[in-house]
Structure 1
Amino acid sequence: MLENKVSGLINKHIKNNFWLYVISLLCLFTGIVLGIYSVRYMGGFEKSDLVNYLKNFTTTIDSGSVNYKSILFQTLKNNIPVILAVWFLGLTMIGIPIILIIDIIKGFTIGFSISFIISEMGIKGIWISLLGVLPQNIIYIPCIILSSVFAMEFSLMIFKDRSKVQWKSHILVSITSYSISFLIVAMIMCIGFFMEAYLTPNMIKFVAVSLEGILL
């Protein structure tokens, strides 16, 4: 009974916000494509710096001297402000374009990372992307899309209902419900944070050891 109710609510939400999901997905995938193509047009100096950083990173992980807490802190630092920014933009009537830009930037980061690793590390890069980059992004991407749609939906609701007395009297309840939705998304993203901090380094180490004969 409860499962049917939850499933019904999810289906209703997706149906009511179908085009918001489409737009958010398009922006994310546009960013991924831009990230992939940007690797082709990188200058030699920038590429050299990134290659050296990548080599140092894999060497550090391969040596076993990994500071998991530091990686977790950096992961939180990179992602939590983004979620908070999207949440805040949803409280405004002009935040939708910026939310979509954030989707493009997140997509660009994913596309650039995977494309650069593969182009510079070959077969080893493919395995690092599959085992070290994709797992946490399988969680991040739906959360990014979901939070973007929540924010755009709320922003549009404010725009449509801003003049209604009923809306003004229930605004606190609406903001609380909206914030709880974001809190749930953040909690789901925590799985990705811990994967990126504790699982990813070990996966990269596994690839480095298994494919030791393949040079960077």
Structure 2
Amino acid sequence: MERALARHIRDNLGLYLIIFFFFLGGIIAGTVTLYFLEEQQVIQLAAYLDNLLQQFNSSDISGYKVVHQAITNALKEIGLVWFLGLTVIGIPLIIVVVFLKGFILGFTVGFLVQQKAFHGVALSLMAVMPPNLIQIPALFVAAMLGISFSTGLMHGRSYSEKGILPRFLNYSFFMLLVTLLVAGGGLVEAYLAPVFVRVVLNYF
């Protein structure tokens, strides 16, 4: 298993690096965007953040609703990458999905730190990062699979020997596994993140 994983990473290292750099670019862009927000926008976002944290702290958020939302988001995100991989023009759009994921993460963490200082750092490490430690690598794998399949469609010849159906089924199967991983990150977000938020708000 470890050898297969190491071989997979080695064979696709260049593609993973491209995906990582666009994700990193998204994080930087999301962080920089904070400095261009108008004062009224900052006030509104801060009020929304305070309300959200209060709900977490008072256990007003339904775990079931969060899980349902997390699974729905996983299906949408990975489903979109899967669909884009089926098109010959999907590669730049898959990169956009990765970039936006980085943008959202950079903006979220940056805003938390900007507004809550030490508490923001603690919330980022204990509540924001745990689910993303599962979801981000899963998204990288999904992006790699989508780009690889789309590239194969453009070249055409790589699918001519055994036919496209077996490769399509293989592609879809691995995308399903990735979706389950992202949904697993959603479970962490639903059941562990609220606990970590309450710990930070009440004991730090």
What TM-score bracket applies, with the shorter chain setting the length? over 0.9
Deviation at residue 46 of structure 1 after TM alignment: 1.2
Deviation at residue 65 of structure 1 after TM alignment: 2.1
Equivalent residues of 2:23, 2:99 under 8 A apart = yes
Deviation at residue 134 of structure 1 after TM alignment: 0.5
Report what 1:174 is aligned to.
167
Alignment of 1:93-112 (within 5 A): 93-112=88-107
- Misfit runs of 4+, over 6 Å: none
Which of 115, 123, 126 is the matching residue for 2:110?
115
| 1:208 lines up with 2:180 in the alignment | no
Report what 2:22 is aligned to.
27
**Inter-partner Cα distance in structure 2 for 1:202 and 1:117:** 17
**Inter-partner Cα distance in structure 1 for 2:147 and 2:123:** 34
Deviation at residue 165 of structure 1 after TM alignment: 4.1
Alignment of 1:7-86 (within 5 A): 7-86=2-81
Equivalent residues of 1:17, 1:153 under 8 A apart = no
Q: Evaluate the alpha carbon distance shift between residue 165 and residue 36 of structure 1 in structure 2; reply closer, same or farther with a 3 A threshold.
A: closer
**Inter-partner Cα distance in structure 2 for 1:29 and 1:74:** 26
* Structure with bigger gyration radius: 1
**Inter-partner Cα distance in structure 2 for 1:79 and 1:164:** 29
Bigger CA drift: 11-20 or 36-45? Answer: 11-20
Bigger CA drift: 11-20 or 88-97? Answer: 11-20
Deviation at residue 14 of structure 1 after TM alignment: 2.2
Which of 143, 151, 154 is the matching residue for 1:156?
151
SS of residue in 1 equivalent to 2:31: helix
**Inter-partner Cα distance in structure 1 for 2:7 and 2:54:** 49
**Inter-partner Cα distance in structure 2 for 1:41 and 1:76:** 33
Equivalent residues of 2:66, 2:190 under 8 A apart = yes
Q: What whole-Å deviation, never above 9, does each CA across 1:80-117 have from its counterpart, x for those lacking one?
A: 21100100111111100000011100000000000001
Q: Evaluate the alpha carbon distance shift between residue 164 and residue 209 of structure 1 in structure 2; reply closer, same or farther with a 3 A threshold.
A: closer
**Inter-partner Cα distance in structure 2 for 1:30 and 1:200:** 26
Deviation at residue 164 of structure 1 after TM alignment: 6.3
Q: Evaluate the alpha carbon distance shift between residue 129 and residue 162 of structure 1 in structure 2; reply closer, same or farther with a 3 A threshold.
A: same
Q: Which runs of 5+ in 2 are unaligned?
A: none
How many positions carry a matched residue from both structures? Answer: 204
SS of residue in 2 equivalent to 1:166: coil
**Inter-partner Cα distance in structure 1 for 2:199 and 2:47:** 20
Equivalent residues of 1:118, 1:126 under 8 A apart = yes
**Inter-partner Cα distance in structure 2 for 1:49 and 1:83:** 31
**Inter-partner Cα distance in structure 1 for 2:151 and 2:124:** 37
**Inter-partner Cα distance in structure 1 for 2:70 and 2:117:** 26
Which of 163, 167, 181 is the matching residue for 1:188?
181
User: TM-score by structure 2 length?
Assistant: 0.94
User: TM-score by structure 1 length?
Assistant: 0.89
Equivalent residues of 2:74, 2:183 under 8 A apart = no
Name the Cα RMSD after superposition: 1.5
Report what 1:139 is aligned to.
134
